[in-house]
A and B are shown apart, each in its own frame.
Chain A
Amino acid sequence: MSLKTDNREFGERTADGIGNAFMRSAVSSAQDSLKTRRLTAATALGDWEAWRVVGQTIRQHTLQNLDFYLNQLADNIEAKGGQIYFAATKEEASSYIRDVVVSKQARKIVKSKSMVTEEIEMNKVLLEAGCDLIETDLGEYILQIDDWDPPSHIVAPALHKDRNQIKRVFTEKLGYTGDESPEKLARHAREVLRQKFLEADVGITGCNFAVANMGAINLVTNEGNGDLTAAIPKTQIAVMGMERIVPTMEEMEVLDNLLCRSAVGQKLTSYITVMGPKAAGESDGPEEFHLVVVDNGRSEILGSEFNEALQCIRCGACLNVCPIYRHIGGHAYGSIYPGPIGAVITPLLGGYDDYKELPFASSLCGACTDVCPVKIPLHEQLIMHRQNIVKEKRTGAAERFQMKAAGRLLSSPSMFGKVLRLANPGSRMMSKHGRIVRGPGLIQGWVGVRDLNQPVKQADSFRTWMKERQGGTQQ
C-alpha cells in the first residue's frame, strides 16, 4: 500500500462511501463510542486544557530542535549497538529495509502496526523480494488476508468491516470453522499468529515516539503483538516519521497519556514499552536493531506555514468527531491518512495534483481543532490549503467563474440590491413550494443534498421590513 489507496476520482470515492449504508452505520457508531470514551478519559485527567498546552509545548519544542534530538537519538542508538538509517525518500527507506532483510537471508517477517511503513510502500517491496510478511495487529491482519483491503481509520484500520464479513474472510482464507463472535475470531488469529511470531526471522515495528536521550523507541499498543514482534525475532527494524521523537521519557509520558486518552479513551493502553537493542546478558529482544528515520516530504512541511501539522501524534481523535468522515468514511479520502488530519497532511505528502479536493472535505466546524490533544489548528490549515488551491487556479473553470461573479456582486451594494429584487421572480422557474429544487452550478450541488428556500418577494424582505419599521431611508 502507498499513501494513495484509490485511483478513482474524489467524486466517485465519496459517492461510494455515502452509498455504503453498512459502512456509514459502522463509522457512526464507532465515532459515537470513541468520542464518549475520549471525553470521559480526558475529563478524568483533570485540567485537560492544561495538559493540551503541555502536549503542544513538547511537540513544538521538539520540532524546533528536531536536528538536535535526532542527532542525540542516533548517537545513543549507536552507543547501544543499534543502527540508525536516515532516509530522505520513501524509496531509500524501503530499499534499506529490503537490504537488511536480504542480508539476513530472512524470509519470515512479522510486523506490528505502522502507518509510515504503508507510506513508504514497504510491504510491496518486501513481498516482491519474496518475503513471507504477516501483519500481526488484528485489524491489519484482517485487511491483509482480505487481499490487502486498505485501512479506513488510523487507529482502527478495519472499522469499515462487520463481524460477518470478517468471519467470511477467515473461513475462506484460513479455514476457520467458528462463528462470528469477535472473541472467537480474535482467538483464532491468536493461534495462527502465535506460530508466526515464534518462527519469524525479522520483526518490523512502527514507533510512536523515539526517546532521544535513551536511544530507544516507544510503542503504545493493546494486543501484545508489538512486544512479541520486538522480543522474539533476532532482528528488529523499527520505522518512524522523522518528527516522532521526544527528548526524554518525561515528555514521552505526557504524550502517551494524551495519546491513549484521545485515541481510545484508556488511561494508558495495556502495553507501553520503551525498547532498544537487546542488552548484554539478556536472552530475548533484537540482537540486531535498525531504526529507519523517514523524511519523505516532511522537511518541506517543517518550518512552512503547515509546520504545526507535524505535531500530530496519530491519535485519530479528529476523525472521531468529523461530520464529513462520518458520512463519506475513511476510504473516500483515497489516502492512508483519512479524516481532518489526513486532509491536511495528504496534500502535503502527496501533492495537490492528486489531493486538491481533500481540504474541501470539511465543514470547517472546527471540532477537530477542539479535540486535538496537541492543539494543531486543523481547520485553519484546511483554509490555508484552500487558499493555495484557489491561488494556483486548481479549482474548475465553472467554479472560478461563479466565485468571480459572486465576488463582484457582493462587493457592489447597488448591484447586490438589484439582484435581491430579482431573486424571487428569477428563481420561480427553479422552485417548487417555496424551495429551490434545481439550479446551475453550485446551486445544484447544494440542493442535491440540502434544502434551499426560495428568496422572498421584495415586499416581504428584511430590508423592506426594516425600512418601513424605522421609517427611515436606510439601504
Chain B
Amino acid sequence: MTAISKHNNRESFLNRVASSLGRERAYNVKRPDIKGMIPDSYGTLTSDDLINILKEQCFFIHTQLIESTPELLQKTLDDLIAANGGGPVMTSGDPRFNRYELSIPDSSVWTEASGREGNIRRAEAANTAIIFADYVLAESGTVVIESRPDQGRSLHFLPEHYIAVIEKERIVLRSTQAAADLNRRIEAGEPVGSSINFISGPSNSADIEMQLVVGVHGPLRATYVLI
C-alpha cells in the first residue's frame, strides 16, 4: 500500500479547508450543547407507556410483537420457528441464551472460532436469526445491537426471518437516549463494536413506483419477543 499512502495529503487538504473558512487551522473545538435545545414532547413516561409506544410503532414497521415471559420464552421461540417453516436457525453467542436456559433445535451459534467463511455460510443458510437487543427504542420500534466476536454483522441481514428478544428494562424512549449512552461509553474509552446497528423491522424498499415492498436484501420478516 506504500504507493497509495504516499498520496496521502491530509495536511494540504485541511489547510485549504481552514483557508476557505478564513482562519488558521483549529485544534480545540467545543461542540455546541444541543441537549438543551432538543424539545421534549413526551413528558414523564412509565415502563408501560414505553411498551405501548413500542407496540403501536411495530404495527407501522410491519413487525410482529409477541409478549412473552422469561419462563415462556423457550416455547414462544419454538412456536415462532415452527411457524416460519423450521430451521436451520442461527443465534448469536449472547450469554443471555444460557441465562434464560434456551435450547434451540437445529441451530448454530455465531462464534469467533467459526471464522469469517464459516459464520457467513451458516448465516446465509439459516432460515431464522435470533438475537438479544442491547437497547430498544420505543418511538421508532428499533433494536440496537453491536457487533462482537459472538455476534457478527451479517447475522442480522442474511436469514429470511429475524427474531429479536427484548427485555422490558432495555426499552428507552428514542434514539436520543441510546446515542447519549453509546457516546458516553465512547468518550470514556470503553470498547464498542465495530458496527452498531439500529434495526427497525424487516428490510423494505419503495423504489418501484413508490409502492412499499417488505423484504428486499435483508430479512423478509421481523418479530420482536418482549419479555
Is A131 close to B, CB under 8 A? no
Is A437 close to B, CB under 8 A? no
Stretch binding the partner chain, chosen from B68-76, B83-91, B99-107, B147-155: B147-155
Is B169 close to A, CB under 8 A? no
B208 adjacent to A50 (CB under 8 Å): no
Is A30 close to B, CB under 8 A? yes
Is B5 close to A, CB under 8 A? yes
How far apart are the CA atoms of A231 and B153 in the complex, in Å?
6
- Residues on B with C-beta less than 8 A from A230 are 153, 195
Is A384 close to B, CB under 8 A? no
Is A248 close to B, CB under 8 A? yes
- Residues on B with C-beta less than 8 A from A137 are 207
A57 adjacent to B32 (CB under 8 Å): yes
List the interface of chain A (C-beta within 8 A of B): 26, 29-30, 33-34, 45-47, 50-51, 53-54, 57-58, 61, 64-71, 74, 80, 83-86, 88, 92, 96, 99-100, 103, 136-139, 142, 156-159, 161-163, 166, 182-183, 185-187, 189-190, 193-194, 197-198, 213-214, 216, 222-225, 227-228, 230-232, 234, 242, 247-254, 256-257, 264, 266-279, 281-285, 293, 295, 299-300, 302-304
A284 adjacent to B5 (CB under 8 Å): no
Nearest CB on B from A359, distance (A): 22
Is B29 close to A, CB under 8 A? yes
Nearest CB on B from A321, distance (A): 16
How far apart are the CA atoms of A85 and B205 in the complex, in Å?
32
| A227-B153, A283-B114 known; A250-B183 Cβ under 8 A | yes
| A68-B26, A182-B209, A254-B34 known; A272-B198 Cβ under 8 A | yes
A214 adjacent to B120 (CB under 8 Å): no
Which B1-52 residues have a C-beta within 8 angstroms of A?
1, 3-5, 7-10, 12-18, 20-22, 25-29, 31-32, 34-35, 37-42
How far apart are the CA atoms of A88 and B182 in the complex, in Å?
33
A224 adjacent to B22 (CB under 8 Å): no
Closest to A136 in B: B217
| A183-B213, A270-B218, A285-B153 known; A158-B208 Cβ under 8 A | yes
CB < 8 Å: which of A85, A197, A285 contacts B7? A85
Closest to A246 in B: B31
Tally chain B residues at the interface, Cβ within 8 Å.
94
Closest to A267 in B: B140
Closest to A100 in B: B4
A and B contact pairs by CB, cutoff 8 A, 6 listed: A213-B187, A222-B204, A223-B216, A248-B186, A249-B182, A267-B139
- Residues on B with C-beta less than 8 A from A46 are 39-42
Contact with A along B161-205 (1 / 0, CB 8 A): 000000000000001101110110011000111111111111111
- Residues on A with C-beta less than 8 A from B201 are 270
Is B142 close to A, CB under 8 A? yes
- Residues on B with C-beta less than 8 A from A253 are 175-176, 178-179
Is B128 close to A, CB under 8 A? no
A68 adjacent to B153 (CB under 8 Å): no
CB < 8 Å: which of A57, A64, A214 contacts B34? A57
B208 adjacent to A58 (CB under 8 Å): no
Nearest CB on A from B5, distance (A): 7
B205 adjacent to A295 (CB under 8 Å): no
- Residues on B with C-beta less than 8 A from A271 are 197-200, 203, 218
| A68-B26, A253-B176, A253-B179 known; A51-B38 Cβ under 8 A | yes
| A46-B39, A137-B207 known; A223-B153 Cβ under 8 A | no
B61 adjacent to A270 (CB under 8 Å): yes
Nearest CB on A from B41, distance (A): 3
CB < 8 Å: which of B1, B139, B194 contacts A83? B1
CB < 8 Å: which of A50, A182, A250 contacts B213? A182
How far apart are the CA atoms of A103 and B35 in the complex, in Å?
45
CB < 8 Å: which of B25, B39, B211, B216 contacts A190? B216
CB < 8 Å: which of A47, A68, A99 contacts B29? A68
B29 adjacent to A268 (CB under 8 Å): no
Is B206 close to A, CB under 8 A? yes
How far apart are the CA atoms of A66 and B21 in the complex, in Å?
9
Closest to B27 in A: A68
